[in-house]
């Protein structure tokens, strides 16, 4: 369970126990608060789904803490992540050298996701073939999420609306609202997933 779901389950159990323990309390006094909690939980879930701002406020957003082997100290201060915690998380993933880390992202659940440079990644059948060198595409950036343009990400990549409209036209997509997910890698190659 997520922490909010665990708290909700404990609150519901506590509210349900009160009228069952004391027969003098009407059953309605336990049902009404339980329904109110469930309704509030559903409202928060719908707002999380529909509003990017609300989702960012409630859940936060992933934060890049290592980029190209360099620790981003400003982001570490902003997320209150200490160097000791970062090094511990890296050690738990068997990473001892920061120079092997291409990206480290502090996820919204508190976990650290680490992406190594291609030459330090574990060997797989695809990378074992000598005739095919794996191409390092970098970290894909989300530009469109559920039909909504993330303007900050567009600006961070140094792209503009004209480039975006050109890509949509090239892939025969009528508008931004028709896109469920669009990511762009560091070489500005897009990936589209249309809405169903």
pLDDT digits (tens, 9 = 90+) for 16-68: 887 778 777 787 888 888 999 999 989 988 998 888 888 888 888 899 999 98
80 confidence band (pLDDT: 50, 70, 90): very high
Report the pLDDT averaged over residues 140-159. 89
What is the average per-residue pLDDT within 1-21? 81
Provide the edge-to-edge strand list for the sheet that holds 112-116: 70-71, 63-67, 101-106, 112-116
- The helix-helix angle for 52-59 and 28-50 (nearest 10°) equals 120
Share of the chain above pLDDT 70, in %: 93
pLDDT(123) > 80: no
Give the mean model confidence (pLDDT) for residues 150-157. Answer: 89
Percent of the chain with pLDDT over 90: 39
Tokens of 94: 């068997």
Using pLDDT thresholds of 50, 70 and 90, give the confidence band for residue 104. very high
* C-alpha 63: how far from chain center: 9
Determine the pLDDT at residue 127: 64
CA distance 129 to 14: 59
Mean pLDDT of 109-122: 88
> What pLDDT, on the 0 to 100 scale, is given for residue 136?
64
d(CA 49, CA 142): 16
Q: Which of 51, 68, 83 is nearest to 148 (CA)?
A: 51
């Amino acid at each position: 369970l997520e922490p909010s779901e665990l708290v909700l389950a404990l609150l519901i159990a506590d509210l349900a126990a009160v009228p069952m323990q004391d027969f003098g309390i009407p059953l309605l006094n336990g049902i009404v608060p339980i329904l109110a909690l469930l309704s509030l939980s559903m409202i928060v879930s719908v707002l999380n789904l529909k509003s990017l701002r609300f989702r960012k406020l409630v859940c936060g957003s992933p934060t890049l803490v290592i980029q190209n082997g360099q620790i981003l100290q400003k982001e570490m201060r902003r997320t209150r992540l200490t160097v000791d915690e970062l090094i511990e998380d890296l050690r738990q993933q068997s990473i001892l050298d920061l120079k092997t880390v291409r990206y480290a992202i502090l996820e919204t659940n508190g976990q650290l996701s680490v992406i190594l440079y291609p030459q330090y990644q574990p060997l797989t059948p695809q990378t074992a073939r000598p005739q095919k060198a794996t191409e390092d595409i970098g970290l894909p950036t989300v530009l469109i999420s559920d039909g909504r343009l993330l303007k900050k990400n567009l600006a961070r990549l140094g792209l503009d609306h004209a480039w975006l409209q050109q890509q949509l036209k090239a892939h025969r997509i009528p508008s931004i609202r028709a896109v469920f997910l669009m990511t762009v890698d560091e070489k500005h190659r897009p990936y589209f997933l249309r809405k169903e």
